[in-house]
Structure 1
Amino acid sequence: MRAFVLTGPGAGAVQDVPPPVAAPGEVVVDVERAGVCGTDAEFFSGDMAYLRSGHTTYPLRPGHEWAGVVTSVGSGVDDAWLGRRVMGDTMIGDGTCRRCRRGQQHVCEARQEVGVRDGRPGALAEQLAVPVSSLHVLPDAVDAVLGALVEPGGNALRAARATGAGAGDRVLVFGPGTIGLLVAMFARADGAEVHLMGRTDESLRFARSLGFEHTWTEDELPDLPFDAVVDATNAAPLPAKAVELVEPGGRVVYIGLSATPSLLDTRRLVLDDVTAVGILSASPGLDATIEAYASGAVDPRPLVGATVGLADVAAVLAGAHPTGPASKVHVDPRLP
């Protein structure tokens, strides 16, 4: 089968590789859509922290946001899975440790991560093998495009819910990229008044086209009480800025990661009784995200700026493929 393989920093191409075979407890999925993520771009550039920690080595096959159809099953897996439309959890715990037993497999020390950590090739390929336990069935109302947006949506849903915001609350989201806009969509669906802070006129215009009227640059940000602030950027100074702007008794949520350490004064957290939350994974939010997409409460389709084939992935990761203001790129492995 065809798969996109990274062989080193800045080096990646489509290769013919052996097709996956479903091991006991696994299925093979024909991939219909796979999203390209910032994590994939960091693998391409060589900046991803897992490359330094040894969790990931080249060559690697990225891709962890996907949807597809089950086409074969391994021993111990019910044949009823055949033909089902599914997406899958990126985080696969060992199933035996204390964290897994407490339902927190996404922070299992020995976890595998599809398309991220060594041992689980990713979905930028025609086929993918994953444990059946990681699958989530997609209803008819959630097509392949939406299905491949469930994983980033799960992260965003968790961030939005971590704010605790609802009707009568005001939420500020730093970063109108894919994750930031998804957070804004879920917070809006929960009834909150959502504000977005960005750097470029283009990104803020795009946010307004999605119905978010309160969009600002940092210099333009109004002096308003924000009950929660979500940082969905990679800017090292903004975690501290979030604490400065949130109302006493409010909540700050961190879902972005900067390349260098962020510094904030925890005395501000204590003296203002602020709750700080970090979001790593979509795992606990996948089912709720599927439900939100299926009901129409959240529609992330406008976030997909382009759909390309595997041959275009290297250009996308290098930032050379134009997408317009909608920054999410999907890959259809069935295209040339």
Structure 2
Amino acid sequence: MRAPVKAFVVTGPGEAGVQDLEPPTAGPGDVVVDVARAGVCGTDVEFFTGEMQYLHDGFAAYPMRLGHEWSGTVTAVGDGVGAGWLGRRVTGDTMLGCGACHRCRSGRQHVCAARTELGIRGGRAGALAERVAVPASALHALPDEVDDALGALVEPGGNALRAVRGADVHPGGRVLILGPGTIGLLAAMFARAAGAEVHLLGVEPRSLEFARSLGFAGVWRQADTPDLPWDAVVDASNASRLPATALDLVEPGGRVVCIGLAGSPSLVDTRTIALKDVTVVGVLSASPGLAATIEAYARGDVDPRPLVAATLRLDDLAPVLAGERPVGAGPGPKIHVAI
């Protein structure tokens, strides 16, 4: 009998803990990864509290094994997978399409209607565990310059990079980012690396001060936001009113990027979109931005490791999902688990 592996399992709203489970196996086309580091996302919190919409839409159900931001080492390969993956440090895509539909065949597997999502959708076990099985087709190799912590920041980084691409950021342009959380700060870092003048808008004094500590001088509350021409506005918040605010603030002919998700519908006036000739871009996932994010981290263009406030053990995770700040945590918004 193979030794069990420890995995963090949510069994119901507010009910979770570490369980000893049967270890994963590498089926055809799959690999098994020994997880080194995993990040905790707001999506994980919503599954823990029971608020995540997927639970109500039937795309997910308890018990759930969370974790979609991760890095680790391949320790087993299934049939059809090259042995060259063995021993390689990797991260991987969260969005796993069916591979056969029009969307998958055209490179848009992240919007496949039949997709599973690692640690999120369709019962696919996640990486808040000692080991996880993933399709080899989802893997991205990590160079030596990208350590375990950076590897577990590739997935949120890919989302942020896509937001910056959607904003068409360019040297000398001016971008306003709404929401200085993990995605907002990562977007700010990528926009700064692209040569843009970057401003952030937030609410909580702690998050605003942390943004300033990262070298962003233009950090504002909404009432203090300067009257400047914003070439692009990125909504990385979870406030339902802010997409309309973004549309009001952006310059005519500019771009609004929606990457944050509110718990209730956001309303915008489409007449304003048309009359201001604004391009509005939605970003669902990191998938098309993962490789470029790894490259940016490896070059040192962006270093998001200061965003990690604390690195915990699996056994310490439940209180964090319940809203407790770890003792001794730094000012950043991201929590990691070392496995």
TM-score (norm 2): 0.97
Mapped pair 1:247 → 2:245: no
Matches within 5 A, 1:34-183: 34-183=38-187
1:267 — aligned with what? 271
Pick aligned residue for 1:197 from 198, 201, 204: 201
| Superposed displacement of residue 321, structure 1 | 2.8
Pick aligned residue for 1:310 from 302, 309, 314: 314
1:221 — aligned with what? 225
Q: Which amino acid aligns with 1:330?
A: H
Equivalent pair of 1:173/1:195 in contact (CA under 8 Å): yes
For residues 206 and 313 of structure 2, what CA distance do their matches in structure 1 show? Answer: 26
Bigger shift: residues 258-267 or 317-326: 317-326
Q: Which amino acid aligns with 2:261?
A: L
Equivalent pair of 1:99/1:107 in contact (CA under 8 Å): yes
| Superposed displacement of residue 324, structure 1 | 3.8
TM-score (norm 1): 0.98
| Superposed displacement of residue 68, structure 1 | 0.1
For residues 170 and 253 of structure 1, what CA distance do their matches in structure 2 show? Answer: 14
Q: Which secondary structure state, in structure 2, belongs to the residue aligned with residue 139 of structure 1? A: coil
**Partner deviation per Cα, 1:231-287 (whole Å, 9 max, x = no partner):** 001001000000000000000000000000000101000000000000000000000
Q: Which secondary structure state, in structure 1, belongs to the residue aligned with residue 331 of structure 2? A: coil
Bigger shift: residues 199-208 or 315-324: 315-324
2:241 — aligned with what? 237
| Superposed displacement of residue 204, structure 1 | 1.1
For residues 122 and 116 of structure 2, what CA distance do their matches in structure 1 show? Answer: 7
1:328 — aligned with what? 334
Q: Which secondary structure state, in structure 2, belongs to the residue aligned with residue 157 of structure 1? A: helix
Q: Which amino acid aligns with 2:116?
A: Q
Q: Which secondary structure state, in structure 2, belongs to the residue aligned with residue 219 of structure 1? A: helix
**Partner deviation per Cα, 1:121-171 (whole Å, 9 max, x = no partner):** 000000000000000000000010000000000000000111001112100
Q: Which secondary structure state, in structure 2, belongs to the residue aligned with residue 276 of structure 1? A: strand
Equivalent pair of 2:70/2:92 in contact (CA under 8 Å): yes
1:10 — aligned with what? 14
Mapped pair 1:282 → 2:286: yes
For residues 272 and 68 of structure 1, what CA distance do their matches in structure 2 show? Answer: 46
**Partner deviation per Cα, 1:33-61 (whole Å, 9 max, x = no partner):** 00000000000010001000100000000
| Superposed displacement of residue 319, structure 1 | 1.2
Equivalent pair of 2:64/2:123 in contact (CA under 8 Å): no
Q: Which amino acid aligns with 2:312?
A: V
Equivalent pair of 1:60/1:118 in contact (CA under 8 Å): no
| Superposed displacement of residue 327, structure 1 | 1.2
For residues 168 and 76 of structure 1, what CA distance do their matches in structure 2 show? Answer: 48
For residues 325 and 221 of structure 2, what CA distance do their matches in structure 1 show? Answer: 26
Structure 2 gaps, min length 5: none
| Superposed displacement of residue 118, structure 1 | 2.5
Aligned pairs, how many? 333
Equivalent pair of 1:162/1:277 in contact (CA under 8 Å): yes
Q: Which amino acid aligns with 2:214?
A: L
Q: Which secondary structure state, in structure 1, belongs to the residue aligned with residue 186 of structure 2? A: helix
Percent identity, please.
66
Which runs of structure 1 show a deviation greater than 4 angstroms over 4 or more consecutive aligned residues? Answer: none
| Superposed displacement of residue 200, structure 1 | 1.6
**Partner deviation per Cα, 1:207-230 (whole Å, 9 max, x = no partner):** 111010100000110111100000
| Superposed displacement of residue 203, structure 1 | 0.9
Equivalent pair of 2:61/2:123 in contact (CA under 8 Å): no
Mapped pair 1:33 → 2:37: yes
For residues 112 and 286 of structure 1, what CA distance do their matches in structure 2 show? Answer: 18
Q: Which secondary structure state, in structure 1, belongs to the residue aligned with residue 290 of structure 2? A: helix
| Superposed displacement of residue 198, structure 1 | 0.6
Q: Which amino acid aligns with 2:154?
A: V
- What value does the CA root-mean-square deviation take over the aligned residues? 0.7
**Partner deviation per Cα, 1:155-202 (whole Å, 9 max, x = no partner):** 000001110011121000001111000000001111100000010221
For residues 247 and 123 of structure 2, what CA distance do their matches in structure 1 show? Answer: 38
**Partner deviation per Cα, 1:78-104 (whole Å, 9 max, x = no partner):** 111110000000001010000001000
Structure 1 gaps, min length 5: none
